[in-house]
Amino acid sequence: MVFATDGHLRRLPKVELHCHLEGSTRATTIRDLALKNGVELPVDDPEELYQFTNLNQFLDIYTIICRSLVSADDYRRITYEALEDAAAAGVRYREMFFSPGFTIQFGVPVSRIWEGIRAGLLEARQDLSIQARMILDFDKPSGPAHAVEMAEFAGSEPDRDLLIGMGADSVERGIDHAAFAPAYEVAGRYGLRRTMHAGEDGPADNIRIAIDDCGCERIDHGFRLLDDRDLTARVVERRIPVTVCPTSNVVIANVVPDVANHPFGAMRAAGVLAGLNSDDPGMMRFDLADEYPTVAEAFGYTLEQMEQISLDGIESSWAPDDEKQAMRASFAVEFDALRTEYGLPLRA
């Protein structure tokens, strides 16, 4: 059995499928944009904002941060910077959420938001060693009509290589998740891939509704999945990916005291295609490079197991098949180059 050092795990090539654009924003950029847009922040240093003890409090702070995002260029900048930071964390491929519900409430039209994100994405594709695509998340508390409107908007983007899917975030408690089935039907008709935050601080039944009623092909968080044995068996059998964010569940949703007690280890042992993700690396000041060694230590994972988690991210992604094949090959080369550098035997 081969174990890797923290430094080695931080440098593994990685895939990230559960990460929010707005929550990836650097505190320094929020400060710049708030100043530029005349938005008053309740603190002098935005880093001070990044403190929360539950999902609702986190979302309140998320809203404060989002007030600073006004122009298309603001969105271009945060998109580019988020991908710059991801590339530095060893992320080679990312599918990133953006959540227009947080800023359209302040009068920023979704078309302007997307114009900026699109520009940032294209710029990043030119400059950075990371491939990225976007998923539009609707805001659950804004209701089913907002969800349909967002599905229609996402469907209207002609370049399906840039905007590939629809998801849903924000709170779970008190929300009728089945009411979003029509919005997911619209998304499906446009050829958008479908995912949903479910079972984060809500019950496993929300995961079942996401899959059975809304046609979701992937589940975000899925923290409560193992509560339902039959559902778990189906998720395993159908290889429905679950984009798990262990540290986020400790520090944002506060549903588990530490990563060692997170069900991620039990999910993997049960055969769930569960991956590792950071969720909101800017606001958490904790990215995927931090998450890999944290999880390896918490569960005593070998290097092989960590490499497999990375490869499972490729399977779980919505990249085209030829791109997945190319990624598998390049990851294998990188895995072995790192093993050589750290004086470890090559992979079997």
Name the minimum Å distance from CB 3 to Zn ion.
30
Work out the angle at residue 22's Cα, subtended by the Cα atoms of residues 33 and 87, and round it to the nearest 5 degrees. Answer: 100
Name the minimum Å distance from CB 201 to ligand HPA.
8
Work out the angle at residue 290's Cα, subtended by the Cα atoms of residues 14 and 264, and round it to the nearest 5 degrees. Answer: 75
Does residue 170 touch ligand HPA according to CB under 6 A? yes
Name the minimum Å distance from CB 16 to ligand HPA.
13
Among 95, 169, 287, 312, indicate the residue that binds ligand HPA (CB under 6 A): 169
Q: Which of residues 251-280 bind ligand HPA (CB under 6 A)?
A: 252, 279-280
Among 95, 200, 287, 290, indicate the residue that binds ligand HPA (CB under 6 A): 200
- Report the residue number, 248 or 317, with the smaller CB distance to ligand HPA: 248
- Here's the x/- map for ligand HPA, 80-119, by CB under 6 A: it reads as ----------------------------------------
Burial class (CB in 10 A: 0-12, 13-18, 19+), 158: exposed
Does residue 95 touch Zn ion according to CB under 5 A? no
Candidates 67-75, 127-135, 274-282, 325-333: pick the segment binding Zn ion (CB under 5 A): 274-282
Contact partner at residue 92 from Zn ion, ligand HPA, none, CB < 5 to 8 Å by partner kind? none
- Regarding beta strands 193-198 and 131-139, do their DSSP bridges make them parallel or antiparallel, or are they unpaired? unpaired
Among 8, 11, 14, 20, indicate the residue that binds ligand HPA (CB under 6 A): 20
Is 200 known to be catalytic?
yes
Candidates 83-91, 138-146, 202-210, 271-279: pick the segment binding Zn ion (CB under 5 A): 271-279
Residue 283, sorted as left (phi over 0), alpha (psi -120 to 50) or beta, turns out to be: alpha
Q: Which of residues 277-296 bind Zn ion (CB under 5 A)?
A: 279
Residues that bind Zn ion (CB under 5 A): 279
